[in-house]
Amino acid sequence: MATRELSDPILHELIKNALDTIVDEMAIALVRTAYSNNLKNAMDMSCALCDAEGRLIAQGLTLPLHLGSIPDAMARVRQKFAGRTHPGDVFILNDPYEGGTHLPDFYIFKPIFLEGALVGWSASIGHQLDVGGKTPGGNGCDATEIFQEGLRIPAVKLYTAEGPVEAVFELIDRNVRVPRQVLGDVRSQVAACLTGERAYLKLIAQHGAERFQSCTTMLLAQAERLARTAISKMPDGRYEFTDWIDDDGIDPDPIPLKVALTVDGDRMIADFTGSAPQVRGGINSPLPFTKSAVYATVRHLIGGDPPNNEGYFRPIEVIAPPGTIVNPVMPAAVAARGLTGFRLANALFGALAQIAPDRVFACEVGGDTGVSFGGYDRERRPFVFLEFLFGSWGGRPAKDGVDACSSSVVNFSNNPIEVIESEYPLRIERYGYVPDSGGAGKHRGGLAVVRQYRFLEATGTLQLRTDRRRFLPYGLAGGREGTPSDNILNPDGDRRQLPTKCTLEIREGDVFRHLLAGAGGWGDPLARDPELVLKDVLEEKLTAGYARREYGVAIDLAGRKVLAEETAQLRAGKAGAARP
């Protein structure tokens, strides 16, 4: 290979963009062919490409919390089937103790061959609607060991050159509540991998196998180099932060997540020593998921537009002691590990804010809420509805937090109300913002969101994975905390407050209302522009009383204006009271 070709930046950029396009086309193929709302609407899935050595060379615009775990699952498949991988093979796994992260996430890998030689892998991850187990939806906190959580699939072949391995399809069919949707989504994941395979081979045909391989190796090195350069610009030191999960749904004790980020030249170490031992409830985070949370958050500070591959993982070391909530050992339950993954991101951002206070936002609501309804209709047909509710971002160093969006470490969408009501025995009676809920600050935290469901079938099961009731989203730079989440059954009837994590039987006509937490604020609330406070009041995001109490801003609602003199007096009084 000529030296000119190896160092050709235009060629590298062309291939980088082509790879990015391929993985996005894979994601589109998956969404268009998926059966479940969780994949086709919420897009709880990811797609990627790996080279012949299993190195992650492209990640789609899907879920960073998924994609950082691909190398571990890929390594397990390659190790187990070394010398036994052939054209036409497709592999599947979901076992969190064999490369996966929890049972609902099915990892599917397809080796890509050219003239009998392995040249790469296409990969997809899909959060399946159900995996059996004791809780419909497979995402409950109430299991105390993984054996209760559903069907465990070690790395096995799903297809060979002769066609589907029917035994595997039959095992899945017999062990899930809604096999039509689950097996349909499995085939959609395979379709995504086939889409990636075709485009990958076309790209190789365009550039030649040797040249293509040299370019992908260079792209990995480029991503590593840019990450090291970005880290080397950070001040050396050790930066610690601790966040807390309210409880695990079984034991009432709060659960610490402690991280220490060490910047040492062009390297970064994320050390979770001191985090809680693994817990009985199903919120333990397997090591690949913990590592993925680190990669996703650090990527925010790397900045720029480096190749989206595993090269930027290389300068980052993750220390997670075995037997802890961030690296559980058998038989720990992990179904609801998403809660801990999002909270790890919150803790990591808390540490990163000490490194780059002008670039990191206050605590977001994250993705603490999972809601599922399951049961059988009057004709004994099973149904499972699963969705994850996302709130808002925390206040940013230069802007307010974003109201009602997915977490910064995933790329979810919401489930349209019309689709839910047409396909499930549910009616969505309320969906909107909660006034006075974003943490006060120079830059306001995003508002809390409320979602209310009415159950329309005779009986069913409601399962909740929520948090942030006791330990609120933190503010930064003097910004206030956000507001707590809440779960209420029959708010206009006997009004029963539910725990943050629970599974219970519900009946026709029952109403469930969930309030997400409000995000934290950034900066001193007294430094907020009074006109922005007025705008929030006029848009009904804040009440006039809250504006006066938290921001020291007096508003004439009838005149739709700020009372400047009274505001100056209020703020002077609050500033004086705050002085020691």
Question: Rounded to whole angstroms, how far apart are CA atoms 425 and 35?
Answer: 18
Q: Mark out the alpha helices in 356-428 (DSSP H runs).
A: 417-423
> If pLDDT is split at 50, 70 and 90, which confidence band does 436 have?
very high
Q: What are phi and psi of 145, to 5 degrees?
A: -155, 155
- Output the pLDDT for position 413: 86
- Output the pLDDT for position 304: 76
> If pLDDT is split at 50, 70 and 90, which confidence band does 411 have?
confident
| 143-198 residue pLDDT tens | 999 999 999 999 999 999 999 999 999 999 999 999 999 999 999 999 999 999 99
Distances (CA, A) of 62 to 47, 133, 302, 399, 403: 7, 27, 19, 25, 20
Residue 194 identity: L
As a whole number, mean pLDDT of residues 530-542 equals 97
Strands 511-515 and 486-489: antiparallel
| 75-87 residue pLDDT tens | 999 999 999 999 9
The answer on pLDDT for 2 being more than 50 is: no
Residue 66 identity: H
**Nearest CA-CA partner of 530 in 559, 487, 566, 495:** 566
The answer on pLDDT for 546 being more than 60 is: yes
Helix (H) or strand (E) run with residue 569 in it: helix 564-578
- Output the pLDDT for position 306: 81
The answer on pLDDT for 3 being more than 70 is: no
Question: Rounded to whole angstroms, how far apart are CA atoms 363 and 55?
Answer: 33
The answer on pLDDT for 61 being more than 70 is: yes
CA angle 254, 149, 376 (to 5 degrees): 110
> If pLDDT is split at 50, 70 and 90, which confidence band does 1 have?
very low
Please tell me which residue, 577 or 228, carries the higher pLDDT value. 228
- Output the pLDDT for position 368: 75
74 neighbors 109 (Cβ within 8 angstroms): yes
- Output the pLDDT for position 580: 64
Give me 8's structure tokens.
Answer: 């050709």
445 neighbors 482 (Cβ within 8 angstroms): yes
Strands 45-51 and 496-497: unpaired
Helix (H) or strand (E) run with residue 434 in it: strand 426-434
Q: Which residues pair with 59 in a beta bridge?
A: 48
**Nearest CA-CA partner of 395 in 430, 349, 433, 351:** 349
As a whole number, mean pLDDT of residues 130-152 equals 93
| 114-124 residue pLDDT tens | 999 999 999 99
| 272-295 residue pLDDT tens | 999 999 999 999 999 999 999 999
- Output the pLDDT for position 576: 78
The answer on pLDDT for 26 being more than 50 is: yes
As a residue count, the chain comes to 580
| 450-501 residue pLDDT tens | 999 999 999 999 999 999 999 999 999 999 999 999 999 999 999 999 999 9
**Nearest CA-CA partner of 311 in 5, 10, 46, 16:** 16
- Output the pLDDT for position 7: 64
As a whole number, mean pLDDT of residues 301-310 equals 85
The answer on pLDDT for 6 being more than 60 is: no
Query: For residue 21, how many C-alpha atoms fall within 13 Å in the half-sphere facing its CB?
Result: 11
- Output the pLDDT for position 302: 85
- Output the pLDDT for position 347: 97
Q: Which of 334-343, 382-391, 404-413 has the lowest mean pLDDT?
A: 404-413
Cis preceding linkage at 331, omega within 30: yes
Distances (CA, A) of 77 to 72, 81, 150: 9, 6, 21
Neighbours of 435 (CB within 10 A): 17
Residue 261 identity: L
Question: Rounded to whole angstroms, how far apart are CA atoms 60 and 124?
Answer: 10
